[in-house]
Structure 1
Amino acid sequence: MDLMNIVAIEGYIQTTYIAVYPDKLLLLDSGCRCDVDNILTYITEVLERPVAQLKTVMVTHMHPDHAGGAELLKQKTGCLIVSAKSKKAWYQGILGRLSHLNDLGLTYYVASRQGKSVANVWYNPILKVDVEVQDGDPIPSFEDWTVLETPGHTDRDLSLWHAQTKQAYTADLILIIRDKFVSPYLITLPHAYRASLNKVKALQPEIILLAHDKRAKICDKDFDRLMDRAPRKPRKTSLRSVLSTAVVNSRFARKRVKTP
């Protein structure tokens, strides 16, 4: 068995995890675009590795803090971008592009609540994926990790399971607020969300890696409470709020850092 350690890097609005092996690195989500330099600096200065050892970058779903850095990381390291197989792009069409602007605006909102300054979070809403994966597939170059399809937050969310250490990276499937496990605000598929929780619960993970917190232990009762309290109807962003947030976001866009 390869020796593997998981390290956490504080990102713009999320925690980004790297699975560290003796001769290669796996990024469990790409973080925001503005996180790329910090990720590469961590690799070269803290891990003391060449950036070419970053072999694979997972994208669990298309929101800015999970997909935003992927293409820039590929440009700088030559890594593979791996994400869910889907018939259409998440941000497809006019409404999709407006939703993309809305999500960028929400990213700035969360950053402002955390006391962060404006940074460049812009990224192409249509991701160019090198390898598409489905439920049960191994991660390319990291066959000790298994891909789990865990939709609910969006229609294509992935979680990542490392059976040897009984750790699961659950991205935005589960959040912690005031020391309690909660579902994300955006739930597009409530029935699928509960099924996804059940899928992870059945694996009996000893540790879950949270995108908006750190490592956490979780028990069956925690999963059951999440399923009981999760919304029964879809919680989606309305067209009105998308349009209004897009207008607000355009003001931030004028302040963006120059794209490298």
Structure 2
Amino acid sequence: MKSRRRPYAEQRPQDLGGGVCSVPVPIPGNPLGYTLVYAIDSPPGPVLIDAGWNHPDAWAALSGGLATLGLDVSAVRGVVVTHFHPDHAGLAGQVRQASGAWIAMHESDAALVRLMAEYAGAEHDAFQADMLRRAGADPGEARQVAGERPAPPALPDRELRDGDLVDLPGRKLRAVHTPGHTPGHICLHLEDADRLFTGDHVLPDITPHIGIYPYDRDDIDPLGDFLDSLDRVSELGPLDALPAHEWIFPDVAARAAQIRHHHEEKLERLRALLAQRPQPLTIWEVAAMMTWNRPWDELPPPLRGMAAGEAAAHLRALEAKGHVRRLPGVDAVRFHALDS
């Protein structure tokens, strides 16, 4: 089954067959429009894949959509969160309150949720300001980029690792660790039906945000992790993909290969751009040089912040490959290209 992305107003809950349903849940004020929440039926009650944004309209859509499909939110057995972002984990706590359901996510994202819950607002603002300064943003722009922080999602009751089977009696749903978009992103392989719930890891038309925060970390390589995770998904074969956004599509392996090629081309373009510049560049300067869905000057400040995170991830991947070198500085870290 394949359903093209349409505006949220045109979306409807669907019975996808084989004991799997989908419910579109709106994301207020976001161009993505909605998150596709999936429900897998089982004798003790359905298990949800993701839950949607924490907003009254989203809750009405989720609970009402399940009811349309003959499912009661109060009967939900569990929620498996593909990753901690608010459009996926936001309503998990409310589902738990309504039903007593457990919440599960990968242990790496669970650690981040605990950290977020302990982080005060003032500390977060100071962290953001220092991160932007080290990236090369001027103070005025840094103040504009730092936006309001969403409330942390509910703490999970269960933590998953790669290869774990989800508590889903009568079905075989296995966690596949696919870091990159977040450290603990998971896809979920419904092995008894040759379906893969891909979260944000593999989407049919767009690609997920891969960033580094703080921007100048040199101990992680999320883009490298993401590319490796694409290979892992490709190895599962031409499964039907049930993503969290856009539409359902066949042959996840083919799409994973396309996304890998896209990022490899992007890395090569960036390496070539840096090689043309005689002076080292800050992360902010590199982000302004890269190609986005609109010109840099037209990006609103919060999107510039995300673009800088993505530029940082690409720079880190090039550094890991030995194509660029970072030069730490008092004001900001800078990068320059090495000879091929």
TM-score, normalised on structure 1? 0.71
Partner residue in 1 for 2:51: 30
Counterpart amino acid of residue 93 in structure 2: E
- Secondary structure at 1:151 match in 2: coil
CA gap of 1:36–1:7, structure 2 versus 1, over 3 A, is same
CA distance in 2, matches of 1:205, 1:151: 20
- Bigger proportion of residues as strand: 1
1:47 deviates by 3.1
Contact 1:97 1:125 in 2 (8 A): no
Larger Rg: 2
Matches within 5 A, 1:157-176: 157-176=185-204
Contact 1:33 1:123 in 2 (8 A): no
Contact 2:90 2:153 in 1 (8 A): no
With 19-28 and 61-70 compared, the bigger mean Cα shift is at 19-28
1:132-171 deviation per Cα after TM superposition (whole angstroms, max 9, x unaligned)? 1100001123451001110111111111111111111111
With 152-161 and 30-39 compared, the bigger mean Cα shift is at 30-39
Partner residue in 2 for 1:192: 225
How many residue pairs match? The answer is 214
CA distance in 2, matches of 1:207, 1:42: 23
Partner residue in 2 for 1:137: 164
CA distance in 2, matches of 1:228, 1:192: 15
Contact 2:92 2:103 in 1 (8 A): yes
Choose the corresponding residue for 2:175, options 138, 142, 147. 147
CA distance in 1, matches of 2:237, 2:256: 10
With 88-97 and 210-219 compared, the bigger mean Cα shift is at 88-97
TM-score, normalised on structure 2? 0.55
Contact 1:59 1:82 in 2 (8 A): yes
Choose the corresponding residue for 1:204, options 218, 234, 237. 237
Partner residue in 2 for 1:41: 64
- Unaligned stretches of 5+ in structure 2? 1-16, 27-33, 129-148, 213-221, 271-282, 288-299, 306-340
Q: State the 4+ residue runs in structure 1 displaced beyond 4 angstroms.
A: 94-98, 240-245
1:161-203 deviation per Cα after TM superposition (whole angstroms, max 9, x unaligned)? 11111111111112233xxxx4213344111101111111111
Partner residue in 2 for 1:216: 249
CA distance in 1, matches of 2:38, 2:124: 28
CA gap of 1:29–1:8, structure 2 versus 1, over 3 A, is same
Counterpart amino acid of residue 204 in structure 2: I
1:126 deviates by 5.1
Partner residue in 1 for 2:313: none
CA gap of 1:243–1:160, structure 2 versus 1, over 3 A, is closer
1:219 deviates by 5.6
Partner residue in 1 for 2:155: 128
Contact 2:73 2:95 in 1 (8 A): no
Counterpart amino acid of residue 225 in structure 1: Q
Contact 1:187 1:193 in 2 (8 A): no
Partner residue in 2 for 1:229: 262
Counterpart amino acid of residue 175 in structure 1: L
CA distance in 2, matches of 1:53, 1:155: 31
Partner residue in 2 for 1:249: none
Let me know the Cα RMSD of the aligned residues.
Answer: 3.3
1:127 deviates by 3.0
Counterpart amino acid of residue 197 in structure 2: Y
Residue 39 of structure 2 is aligned to residue 18 of structure 1: yes
CA distance in 1, matches of 2:204, 2:256: 13
1:37 deviates by 2.6
CA gap of 1:48–1:214, structure 2 versus 1, over 3 A, is same
With 20-29 and 9-18 compared, the bigger mean Cα shift is at 20-29
Contact 2:76 2:101 in 1 (8 A): yes
1:33 deviates by 1.5
Partner residue in 2 for 1:183: 207
Matches within 5 A, 1:19-98: 19-34=40-55, 35-44=58-67, 46-86=68-108, 88-90=111-113, 92=116, 93=119, 97=124
1:124 deviates by 3.5
1:60 deviates by 1.3
- Unaligned stretches of 5+ in structure 1? 102-121, 246-260
Percent identity for Structure 1 against Structure 2: 22
